Amino acid sequence: MSQHIDPRDAQRVALAEAWIAQDPDPETRDELAAIIVAVRGGDPEASADLADRFDTRLAFGTAGLRGAIAAGPNRMNRVLVAQAAAGLAAYLVERATPGSTPSIVVGYDGRKNSDVFARDTAEIMAGAGLRAVLLPRLLPTPVLAFAVRHLGMSAGVMVTASHNPPNDNGYKVYLGGDDHGSQIVAPADAEIAAHITRIAETRAVPDLPRGTFWTAAESVIDEYVRQTALVASPTGAAPAAQPRVVYTAMHGVGWQTMSRVLETAGFETPTLVDEQIAPDAAFPTVAFPNPEEPGAMDLSFERARAVDAELIVANDPDADRLAIAIPDSAATEGYRRLTGNEVGLTLGWQAARRAADAPGDSGANGALACSIVSSPGLEAVARAHDLDFEATLTGFKWISRAPGLVFGFEEALGYLVNPGTVRDKDGISAGLAFLTLAAELKAEGRTVADHLDEFVERFGCHASGQVSIRVTDLSRIGEVMARLRTEPPASVGGIRVERIEDLADGFGALPPSDVLRIVLEGGARVMVRPSGTEPKLKVYIDAVSVDGTVAERRAAASAAVAALDAGMRELVE
């Protein structure tokens, strides 16, 4: 006989039992049933676990859904996905032109349950009266983003948690039509969320009608490959040279598509990190499947040393991000991963030269764009090539909407190099663009390192750094942001603060956002914001030096970044 339990626990147990009754997944049903037994037995840890699962709901926002795979409304599971699919379907029906049938294309990567969540979504969409299309197999996120536009769909859903921990999964939503295949922004997120809440409160999952979906033809992937290969050369010209390259898919879905793109563009097959090349939801060789994380590229460095590689190309698990590493004798591993800003500025300069050389009047060749937390060096590149520049809020949902966009990037390894094809970050096309640059440099007898020196000589050294504070109590992030607002620092790391710009109520053309921009003497700046996808407070540091030699510029900018890093850690840790 179970002991008496707290009334709040009793309410949660009732909610959990109702959840089990509508859950089609035996794994999560059993998981939740075991927690109920433990709660009834007086286990305080089980009680806290149940409260965490049922006292709140995994929020649907502009980043869609993302969380750990487990039972309950505050986790990713088949019940939550079914409710999200039905809510999104209701939103699409509501906004459809009278008499028309809305449509959706669904994609999925190699994470646990991605295929199950995708099929649930397609069936529920079809049951709601939409024309639903499922991509034929696990594929990179950029292919789904491409398919939304290529197939002329009303919307798209990609089931992926990108580079999150192995047990996470997520749900990205794209809109077609006037949104041109970009990810959702406000107010669409709130409107979709309202429909999802209504479905969750009024409909049981087994009562949601399901229908028959279509499976997309292979020609969709063929066309993505064809159009992406043109990033290397719009004329189809052969590569200028063949750099020695190592590639890793980080246990994700990138290689099959990347290999076809490289072959179509005329590049030789790179040396592969075999242990990481096939999709594996367990991510066995990395603690955290993100190329930015320490240790994630160790196998790539090992393989590169063995073949004397001139370049390492890495995708994250859903291949929407790109990491690049180059030989560096000063690095312990013999190779150095370039920062997201270094890659972004390099690709931005490449795009700017191409845009400036394109036919058209000066100043009418488009725009470069990056998020406000990415390097301001991109603006210097745009000015030098008579291009427009736009700084947006974080996320490609904003970058992709910049008017006249020819290139956009975000320091978190995201690059948009082919806006006419994909309106989202794309690690495959970006990888090809960087490989094309490396080939051109090799043909001229130069290296990527030489090219980085040339950038510093022409535009100055734009050094950057980041402080990332992971928390277990999300309230701590709010406390730090509030303290910085009410007790603003007069200096950071010995560098005088000129002004602090609070973006909470919007700033210029930027929509409101929980971001503080600290502008410092000498052209340096610090951006502080909560992460949109992880329990982190993120601090972005940028400094610039345009005086002296390349080495002197690097030393001065790096010293400023180091001082600001130490100063910000004192303020936020």
Which residues are marked as active site? Answer: 162
- Taking the C-alpha atoms of residue 390 and residue 510, their distance in angstroms, rounded to an integer, is 10
| 503: amino acid identity, one letter | L
Phi first, then psi, for residue 202 (nearest 5°) are -120, -15
Round the CA-based radius of gyration of the chain to a whole number and report it. Answer: 24
Cα–Cα distances (Å) from 420 to 231, 376, 411, 424, 427, in that order, read 11, 24, 22, 11, 15
| In contact, 347 and 409? CB cutoff 8 Å | yes
Phi first, then psi, for residue 360 (nearest 5°) are 140, 170
What burial class does residue 252 get, using C-beta atoms within 10 Å of its C-beta: 0-12 exposed, 13-18 middle, 19+ buried?
buried
Q: Which are the contacts of 384, defined by CB distance < 8 A and separation ≥ 6?
A: 352, 458, 459
| In contact, 247 and 272? CB cutoff 8 Å | yes
- Taking the C-alpha atoms of residue 357 and residue 354, their distance in angstroms, rounded to an integer, is 5
Pairing of strands 388-392, 367-371: parallel
| In contact, 135 and 147? CB cutoff 8 Å | yes
Q: Give the residue among 460, 468, 464 at the shortest CA–CA distance from 550.
A: 460
- Taking the C-alpha atoms of residue 410 and residue 520, their distance in angstroms, rounded to an integer, is 22
The SS3 call for residue 37 is helix
Query: In 254-271, which positions are buried (b, 16+ CB within 10 angstroms) versus exposed (e)?
Result: bbbbbbbbbebbbbeebb
- Strand extents, DSSP E, 372-442: 388-392, 405-410, 414-416
For 43, which DSSP code? -
Per-residue HEC secondary structure of 94-122 comes to HHCCCCCCCEEEEEECCCCCHHHHHHHHH
Q: Which are the contacts of 392, defined by CB distance < 8 A and separation ≥ 6?
A: 369, 370, 371, 372, 398, 399, 401, 402, 510
The SS3 call for residue 214 is strand
- Strand extents, DSSP E, 508-563: 516-520, 525-530, 536-545
Angle at 239 between CA 345 and CA 380, to 5 degrees: 15
Name residue 507's beta-bridge partners: 510
